[in-house]
Amino acid sequence: MAQLVVHERHAGNVSAWSAQARDETGRDWIEALCRIREFSEYMLYGHFVQNDAEFSGMHTPSSRTRCVSYWDRLKLDRSGLNRLLGGAAEKDVAFSAASFSGTPVEMIRAAIEETRRLRVPLAEIYVRA
């Protein structure tokens, strides 16, 4: 599991998972999760999908995430953010930074916007041509 997990609500994945949580705990899924001090929504959802034949077929396992992530405790500065985002692969579609790094959200948004302006994806070049 990675930072980028698409929960396709229209496919019923989340509804089926929450119903299973309710059936197994006898509580609404929110109440059930609130009673657990440490858990990972990624692990819970991944376990559910992996063990349900219908929903397992709707997911594609991959060893590569499409999310650029920052997990260090040190606060990123603008140049660090630019280096990190500049190293993103063409197919990357998301960015996440650990909240404990203290990197300001507005700085992250500005760096992402700057990266967008500087990098024109190949798909856009082909569309324009």
| Tokens coding 85 | 């985002």
Decide: pTM greater than 0.85: no
Domain tally for the chain?
Answer: 2
Q: Where do we find the tokens 């798909």?
A: 123
Task: Please give the Cα distance from 97 to 35 (Å, whole number).
Answer: 27
Q: What does the radius of gyration of the chain's CA atoms come to, in whole angstroms?
A: 19
Question: Does residue 34 form part of some domain?
Answer: yes
Query: pLDDT tens for residues 49-86?
Result: 888 888 888 777 777 778 888 989 999 999 999 899 98
Residues 49 and 75 in one domain: no
Helices (H) and strands (E) in the chain, counts: 7, 2
Query: pLDDT tens for residues 19-49?
Result: 888 998 999 988 988 888 787 777 888 888 8
Q: What is the dihedral of CA 19, 20, 21, 27, to 10 degrees?
A: 60
Residues 42 and 80 in one domain: no
Question: Does residue 1 form part of some domain?
Answer: no
Residues 111 and 74 in one domain: yes
Residues 71 and 117 in one domain: yes
Q: How many residues does the chain have?
A: 129
Residues 75 and 37 in one domain: no
